[in-house]
Structure formats: structure tokens, C-alpha cells
Amino acid sequence: MRLYFRILRYLRPHLGVFLLAVGATFAFAGLDAFAYVMLIPFVSVLFGEGSQGALPGTGEGGLPAEPEKFVDRLLDGTVYRVVDLQGDRLEAVQGIILLILVTFALKNLFDFLRAYMVARVEQGVTRDLRNEVYDHLLELDLAFFGRTRMGQIVSRLTHDVEQLRTLLAKELARILSSVFEFMAAIVVMVSISWQLTLAAFVVIPGTMGIWGPLVKKLRRGDRRVLNLAGEVNAHIQETLSGVRLVKSSGAEALERTRFHGLTDDYFRQFVRTERWRALAAPLTEMLAAVGTVVILWYGARLVVVEQTISGSEFVGFLALSLKLYAPVKYVAKFPALVQPGLVGAERVFQFLDAPVEIRSREGAGPFPGLDREIRFEGVSFSYRAGIPVLRDIDLTVPRGTVVALVGRSGAGKTTLVDLLGRFYEVTEGAIRVDGVDLRDIRIEELRKSLGIVSQETVLFHDTVRANIAYGSPNASPDEVEAAARAANADGFISALPDGYDTVVGERGTELSGGQRQRIAIARALLRNPPILIFDEATSALDTESERLVQEAIEHLLEGRTVFVIAHRLSTVQKADQIVVMEEGRIVERGRHGELLSKGGTYRKLHDMQFRDEEPVPPPPTEGGLDRKVDASGAPRGP
């Protein structure tokens, strides 16, 4: 029940419009029943039923008698006051037909109003729910996206939200309409004959009971269908984002096989679930037919043998009973019809309930500025409990210096700088800027102080100008172009078909790798952050592009504190401090020459990269004497 109440909460902002839709639905149901009630005087007038053509509910000479039944009072206040029953019979029939037409017109007007207002509620709920899920996703930390496939996220934002919308607005409106139609029909039917109404109810419990055993099967099946739909979306996204690798590996056949397997699984599960859903409809229809037969048999007896109701009343009752079974069938099917929506709601709420683990502390202040240093004090970090990625990191980075982080893949270099932006939270220890713990700084202000240029540049399907100004919405066109010139990007941007207004394509596919990097550097220059992070920013570029990017980086380094992650040791030789990491620990630190002279991990990494080049001579031995060395660096005789 808690799930139902949580779902209904999304109607609250649209309650006024929804209540208007309910009112229109109520009016529609009443007018729908009344249209069938008017068959009673129509049949009576047409066939001259009763003494001298008297109608049910009329006295001698066709004058209204004291009404005894609700249906008689209803007709007395409407049809009998408008139509001249004592005149020509054909004119009376025509008058009743005109009233029926007016009733249907009003009924359809309210049906239109109901549909329009329900559509407003549906789309309002969809908009609000998507916005809430999207806003929450943006608040979640990187660990969530590391363990959740992008295709599943997209599926829940689109397909699952659509299922929940259908449940919350469309199906809820239909169940209310069915209930109102059922109630209106029952009121009139009981007024005509309570005995015949009881006969009509003989098959209703069976109709309602058909769906009971199927609900659990359908809930389970719908959950599998939605999960498989997410897997199909995830596979499509992964394949298209890596289509270059697929083609270069000649793996088209492999990807076809994998995708066809997923779609086959989805097909089989969907058909299996719909088989159970489809089974109940004909069974319900058959029970409705049985109910109609019971009414025909017992109603004929009441008219012919017992004479407790007239033939015209029986015709009206029969028409209403046929209308009665449609809402009953829908109410019976409702638990199964809403299963996809309930499963979709569960999946959407899983995202909404995912905790935001990294927040600004209460009372957190602004970024204090960087006047002295950044300090890592005993920092340890684990993605999973008991499996440390960083261990006891102590590191001081003075303001305005360049620190290079080197080491083999998996040493923890990128994780270390991710902690600086609080993309992950330290497990032990603290990181301080001028003595202020990062956790005491508001997250949005901390991240505004960072400029990040990575190997995989992120560009959006927008103009060059918008991509440079991303994160700096108040930047003027002149400031954007100045940043592009400083990043060696103005030349190629001006040569584009629409210059700065050229759309770069999804992920910047219209540009080369070097051009994308220079736009990323221009973006960082425009933000003018005090702290910069370069994560393998030039490793995937050709020599010419790397030269241009390095020149742009020189502009960006001026007066800033910089962290450089690089596998190419040639790019970090000028760093003020080189930090060598291994298995999550700092094993060496110093300048390029100092680290080479130690002959440790850095020297090994250097020699592995430059083994085909002239070996670097060792430093002078103690006492300042030059000693000859062989190719391995070992001393040999004079």
C-alpha cells in the first residue's frame, strides 16, 4: 500500500485539474446511463404499451402520476415535462429521439473535457517525475554511475516513467470512470427491478475472480520485461558509443549475435506475459455472455409471467446491463493492467531512493581561496570496503606549483585527483586548502575552483561557443573568443562553416582530437580556476596536435596550482614536483633529475619508455669523480 500512496503523491500538484476531470467523468457516467433510461418511454410510446398508450409512471390520459420509482421520478422531471405525451405518437417519439440526441451531445462534451483534463494531468505528472529523477541523478556521486549501466538509466527515465504516467493518470481516470458508470447503472437498474439486478450480479464475482490468480504472474513477468528493455537500451548505447572499435575489430557479427539474443529474450518474455494477460479477456467476456443470458431468461419471466415490470422497462434494463459489464470487466482487469506501471514505479523509485552520499555539510562555507597550499593528510580511500585504492597519502602542494602524478595504470593517480573535487569521499584522513577541510567547503564552490582537462574530452551537441562557455553562462562573446585564442583554437574555429556558431556534433565528432582538446582548454581558461587538473590530456594526440595543445597549456598554467597525470614522462620533466605512485602509495617524490639519480621506480619507468634512445648517464659518484658505466649503468674499470 505504501507504493500506491507514494505514486498518488505525484497527483498533488495537479489535484485541481484532476478533480475537474473527476467531475466531468461523473457527469459523463450519469448522462450515459440517462441516455439508456430514455429507451423506456421511447419503447412505450412506440408500441403503445399500457392502457391507451399510457407510459410507465403516468396516470390516466397520459398525465404524470405520483412517481413510485427513482426511474419514474427521473423521467417525470425530464422527458415527461418536455415531450407532449397526449399528442401524436410519432411526434412524441421524435421528441424523445431529440432528447436522446441532446443527451449524447452533452455526454460527449463532458467526455471531451474529461479526456483533455486527464491529458493535462498525465503530461504534468510525466514532466514532474522526469524532472525529479533527472535532478536527483545529477546530485548522485560518481560511484552510482560506476555501478549502473547508462542504458538502464535512460530506460528508467523514458520507458519506466511512461509506464508510471499511464498508471497514475490514464488508468486511474479509467477506473474512476468505470466505477461511476457502474454506480449510475446500478442505481437505475435497482430502481427498475432489484430482483433482476441480483440476477445480473450472479456472474460478477466470477468476473472479478478471474484476474486474482494472474496478478502475481503478471507482476513478475512485467518486471522481467522492463529489465530486459533496459538491457536492450544499454546494449544499443554501448555499441553505438564504441562503434569505431566494433568496426575496427570486425566484430559486427558478434554484436549482431549479442543484440539478437537480447531482443529474442525480450520477445519471449513479453509474449509469455501477454499470454496470461490476454487469457482473462475472453474468459471475462464469456462470463458476461452468461450473465446476459440469465437476465434475458429471468427478465422475460418477470414481464410475461409475474408482470412486475413492463416490456419497455425490461428493454431499458437490458441495455443498461450490457453497459454494466464493460466497467465490471475493466475493474476486474485493473490489477493486471496496472502491473507494468507498478513495476515501472518500483524501478524509478530505486533511483530516487539512491542516497546522495556526498553533500555539503550544514554550515559549509565558500571556497577560501588558495594562498598557501593544498595538503593531503593521511588520505586513504576504498571503492569497496576492505579493498583500499589509496593508502596513507601525505602530500603538500604549494600554491602556483606543478605536481606530476606518475605510475603504472591502477596506481591510484586519477582517484587521488577525484578526491580533490569530492567526486568521491575520503575514507580516512583529510584534504585541506589553506587549512580548510574540503568537507567544510560548499561542493558547488569547490568544483567551480577546479579546471579539468582529460584525455576523453566531453563536448555537447551544441555550438563551439556554447561548449567553450559551458559552466560560464555569463561569459561575453569577446571573452569566449579571447579564451579560444589563448588556447590556440581561434584559427580552426574561424575556418569552420559557421565559425563559433558551428554545431560540433554529438561528443564533438565533427572535430579532431586536438581540436576538441583545445576547446576544452579554452573552456578551462574562460573559467579561470585557481586549480587545474590535466588527466592524460595529450596522450592520444599526434605530434603536431600535441605541440599546439602544449602551447595552449603553457598559457593555462600561469599562476595556477596544477596536477598533471601522465604516462608520457616527457610531458612532466619540468614539473616542480613529481609524485610516483604504486599500489595506492607514494613511493617516490622529487624533481626529474633527482628521481633519475635514485634509480628507483621512476628510473625504471623512464628507462622502459626511452629504452630505444640514448641512455641517460648516471649522476657523478661520491667525491665528484666521473666513472665509466656499461650499458646497464654498472661501473667498469678505468
- For residue 312, the one-letter residue type is S
Same domain? For 385 and 304 the reply is no
- Give the domain extent around 101: 8-352
Grid cell listed for 508: 564533438
Domain membership of residue 619 (yes or no) is: no
Residue 117, pLDDT above cutoff 60: yes
Indicate if 425 and 540 belong to the same structural domain. yes
* pLDDT(373) > 50: yes
Q: Which residue has the cell 548522485?
A: 140
Question: How far apart are alpha carbons 134 and 207 in whole angstroms?
Answer: 41
Q: Taking a C-beta distance cutoff of 8 angstroms, is the pair 155, 262 a contact? A: no
DSSP 8-state code for residue 550: H
| pLDDT band (50, 70, 90) for residue 376 | very high
- 289, 323, 352 - which closes a domain: 352
Q: Answer whether 20's CB lies under 8 Å from 117's CB.
A: yes
Q: In what order do the strands lie in the sheet with 531-535?
A: 450-454, 531-535, 561-565, 402-406, 577-582, 585-590
Q: Report whether 202 contacts 85 (CB < 8 A).
A: no
Q: How far apart are CA 138 and CA 347, in angstroms?
A: 18
Q: What pLDDT, on the 0 to 100 scale, is given for residue 622?
A: 39
Question: Same domain for 242 and 152?
Answer: yes
Predicted confidence band of residue 545 (pLDDT cuts 50, 70, 90): low
pLDDT exceeds cutoff 50 at 61: no
Q: What is the pLDDT of residues 507-527, one digit of tens each?
A: 667 788 778 888 888 888 888
User: Apex CA 336: angle with CA 335 and CA 339, to 5°?
Assistant: 90
- The share of the chain scoring above pLDDT 70, in percent, equals 82
Average pLDDT over all residues of the chain: 79
Asked if residues 483 and 463 have their Cβ atoms less than 8 Å apart, the reply is no
Residues 91-117: what's their mean pLDDT? Answer: 89
Residues 125 and 206 in one domain: yes
Q: Between residues 207 and 229, which one has the greater pLDDT? A: 229
Q: How confident is the model at residue 631 (pLDDT cuts 50, 70, 90)?
A: very low
Is 342 a domain residue? yes
Q: What are phi and psi of 202, to 5 degrees?
A: -55, -40
With a cut of 50, say whether residue 583 has pLDDT above it.
Answer: yes
Q: Does residue 322 have a pLDDT over 80? A: no
Does 279 share its domain with 419?
no
What is the structure's pLDDT at 625? 33
Distances (CA, A) of 47 to 56, 311, 537: 13, 10, 92
222 and 269 inside one domain:
yes
> Three cell numbers at 300?
422475460
Give the per-residue pLDDT at 169.
64
pLDDT at site 66: 47
Residue 204 has pLDDT above 70, yes or no: no
CATH number (domain holding residue 195): 1.20.1560.10
Q: What are the backbone dihedrals phi and psi of residue 22, each rounded to the nearest 5 degrees, phi first?
A: -65, -45
Q: Which of 351-365, 468-482, 624-638 is predicted with the least confidence, judged by mean pLDDT?
A: 624-638
Task: Please state the rounded mean pLDDT for residues 385-392.
Answer: 87
In a domain, residue 221? The reply is yes
How many structural domains compose the chain? 2
466 in a structural domain:
yes
Dump the DSSP string for 22-87: HHHHHHHHHHHHHHHHTHHHHHHHHHTTTGGGPPTTB-GGG-B----SHHHHHHHTTHHHHS-TTS
The DSSP call for residue 168 is I
Q: 338-347, 463-472, 528-537 — which one is most confidently predicted on average?
A: 463-472
CATH (domain of 596) = 3.40.50.300
For residue range 474-508, list pLDDT tens digits in order: 889 899 988 888 888 888 888 888 888 988 877 66
Q: Is 16 exposed, middle or buried (0-12, 13-18, 19+ CB in 10 A)?
A: exposed
User: According to the per-residue pLDDT averaged within each range, which of 104-113, 246-255, 297-306 is highest?
Assistant: 104-113
Tell me what the mean pLDDT of segment 40-62 comes to.
Answer: 60
Amino acid (1-letter code) at residue 66: E
pLDDT for 432: 93
The answer to whether residue 636 scores a pLDDT higher than 70 is no
- CB count within 10 Å of CB 84 equals 11
Taking phi first (over 0 means left), then psi (-120 to 50 degrees means alpha), and beta for anything else, what does residue 342 get? alpha
What the block records as the C-alpha cell of 134 is 533527472
Cell readout for 274 is: 501477454
Residue 629 lies in a domain: no
Q: How far apart are CA 351 and CA 136, in angstroms?
A: 8
The two beta strands, 436-437 and 428-433, are antiparallel
DSSP collapsed to 3 states, 512-545? CHHHHHHHHHHHHHHHCCCEEEEECCCCCCCHHH
Are 253 and 402 members of one domain?
Answer: no
Helix, strand, coil abundance in the chain, percent, nearest 5: 65, 10, 25
User: Percent of the chain having pLDDT more than 90?
Assistant: 10
Name the more confident of 570 and 276.
276
pLDDT classification of 293: cutoffs 50, 70, 90? confident
Arithmetic mean of pLDDT, 174-199: 83
